[in-house]
């Protein structure tokens, strides 16, 4: 299998002589370069023109996790320092949260008879089944039914019944259950601990939780919002639900680091001249320097790391999902064709090829469910770390996370199959 590297040749001896500067000047040069990168980085994340015209990001609230930084195994990407963090959306997103309508359940390709049997299989009581069917109307756009059950019925569902029913609803993107809030259950870490929410809100929130594979999930925004008396309470609940674990990853650059190897790895995609001077300069800092990996990513990813999509209308879900994110990793500006699933499939067929495992910057990690349907994609960064946006919801940030944790995030009933695509010529 032929893979083209865009690594560039190492500088010749004359260039090394030219770059030989004093230690003090090297430090000053490194500081100036870092400052200029930060300015470009901030401009790219806030400008509404130029290279990043779509999906303008909003800055996230970051918090350090109790865990300390850990060193990852060395590889062609160099020496990584990984720190678990938590990430929360801006507080003003709570307004959109309170306006979300999750009160309608869409049953695609379904008749009243099939719906009755489905609800019975899911464990709803006779009274609950009758209420759901009574609220259902024919929806020709999905060749099925749209039900709008009473809020009291939604709250009354048992956890087992909610889990089974919402597993069915999750198969259709029209339902809020397709992209619920998710949290890894931990007896020592309650989802709503330290949230500042009232006891009544926490009790109701726990009542509405259900299982999605190995995760706890929450989808019933419309059922809980009427119980939230104040804007402050709505904001606290939204931040608690939307809080996600992420990774802050830094590249440790030392005087004895393999500078040419680092430039070859992080400069892939013809970006050696873009990131080379920074890495070379930091290698001259006495004692070394730890640089955020996000600053070494292509401009598209660099502008969005640890941010949220900017709200553009009154809907909670936007056009910019995981596939748009993955296939635009190398692009400037981003290509909005990749909001269309057919365009995504066509691009993977014609512009990518399959490899055995992710090993170089930019490899696309594609997740398939048991039916062979593509349910998520992310971009390999280094080691087992990926750049990802987990859903099109405005509460889903662009972040870095471990690939095994991403797979667990998307596992529901069956195992998730992983396929790796590599862009031709990268």
* DSSP per position, 72-94: PPPBTTBEEEEEEEEEE--GGGH
DSSP letter for 9, please: P
Residue 176 CA to residue 293 CA, distance in Å, equals: 34
The answer, yes or no, to whether residue 143 has pLDDT greater than 90, is yes
Higher per-residue confidence, 101 vs 250: 250
Residue 183 CA to residue 181 CA, distance in Å, equals: 7
Does 61 reside within a domain?
A: yes
Mean pLDDT of the chain: 84
Q: Do both 389 and 279 map to the same domain?
A: yes
Q: Do both 165 and 250 map to the same domain?
A: no
Residue 275 CA to residue 288 CA, distance in Å, equals: 17
Q: Do both 215 and 316 map to the same domain?
A: no
pTM, rounded to two decimals: 0.77
Q: Do both 398 and 269 map to the same domain?
A: yes
CB atoms within 10 A of CB 254: 17
Q: Do both 76 and 119 map to the same domain?
A: no
Residue written as tokens 């996790």? Answer: 65
Q: What is the pLDDT of residue 67?
A: 52
Q: How many domains does the chain have?
A: 2
User: Can you say how many angstroms the Cα of residue 53 is from the centroid of all Cα atoms in its chain?
Assistant: 20
Domain around 194: 103-219
Q: Do both 270 and 409 map to the same domain?
A: yes
Q: Do both 122 and 45 map to the same domain?
A: no
pLDDT digits (tens, 9 = 90+) for 364-389: 999 998 888 888 999 999 999 999 99
Q: Do both 350 and 256 map to the same domain?
A: yes
């Amino acid at each position: 299998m032929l893979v083209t590297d865009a690594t560039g040749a190492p500088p010749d001896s004359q260039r090394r002589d030219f770059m030989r500067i004093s230690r003090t000047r090297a430090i000053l040069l490194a500081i100036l370069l870092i400052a200029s990168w930060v300015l470009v980085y901030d401009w790219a994340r806030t400008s509404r023109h130029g290279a990043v015209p779509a999906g303008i990001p909003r800055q996230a609230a970051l918090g350090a996790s109790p865990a300390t930084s850990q060193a990852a195994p060395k590889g062609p990407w160099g020496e990584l320092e990984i720190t678990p963090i938590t990430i929360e959306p801006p507080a003003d997103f709570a307004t959109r949260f309170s306006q979300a309508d999750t009160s309608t359940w869409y049953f695609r390709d379904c008749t009243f008879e099939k719906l009755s049997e489905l609800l019975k299989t899911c464990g709803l009581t006779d009274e609950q089944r009758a209420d759901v069917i009574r609220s259902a109307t024919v929806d020709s756009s999905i060749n099925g039914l749209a039900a709008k059950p009473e809020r009291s019925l939604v709250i009354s569902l048992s956890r087992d019944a909610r889990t089974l029913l919402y597993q069915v609803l999750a198969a259709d993107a029209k339902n809020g259950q397709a992209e619920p809030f998710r949290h890894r259950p931990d007896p020592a870490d309650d989802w709503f601990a330290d949230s500042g929410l009232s006891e009544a809100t926490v009790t109701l929130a726990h009542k509405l939780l259900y299982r999605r594979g190995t995760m706890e999930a929450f989808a019933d925004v419309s059922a809980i919002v009427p119980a939230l008396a104040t804007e402050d309470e709505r904001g606290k609940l939204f931040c608690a639900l939307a809080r996600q674990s992420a990774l802050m990853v830094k590249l440790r650059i030392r005087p004895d680091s393999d500078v040419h190897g680092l430039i070859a790895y992080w400069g892939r995609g013809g970006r050696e001249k873009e990131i080379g001077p920074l890495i070379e300069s930091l290698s001259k800092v006495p004692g070394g320097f730890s640089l955020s990996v996000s600053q070494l990513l292509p401009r598209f990813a660099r502008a969005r790391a640890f941010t949220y999509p900017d709200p553009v209308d009154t809907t909670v879900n936007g056009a910019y999902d995981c596939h748009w994110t993955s296939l635009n990793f190398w692009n400037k500006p981003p290509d909005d064709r990749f909001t269309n699933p057919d365009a995504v499939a066509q691009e993977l067929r014609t512009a990518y090829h399959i490899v055995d495992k992710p090993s170089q910057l930019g490899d696309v990690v594609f997740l398939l469910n048991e039916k062979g349907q593509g349910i998520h994609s992310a971009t390999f960064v280094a080691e087992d770390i990926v750049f990802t946006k987990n859903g099109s919801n405005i509460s889903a940030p662009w972040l870095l996370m471990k690939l095994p944790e991403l797979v667990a995030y998307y596992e529901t009933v069956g195992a998730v199959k992983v396929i790796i695509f590599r862009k031709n010529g990268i």
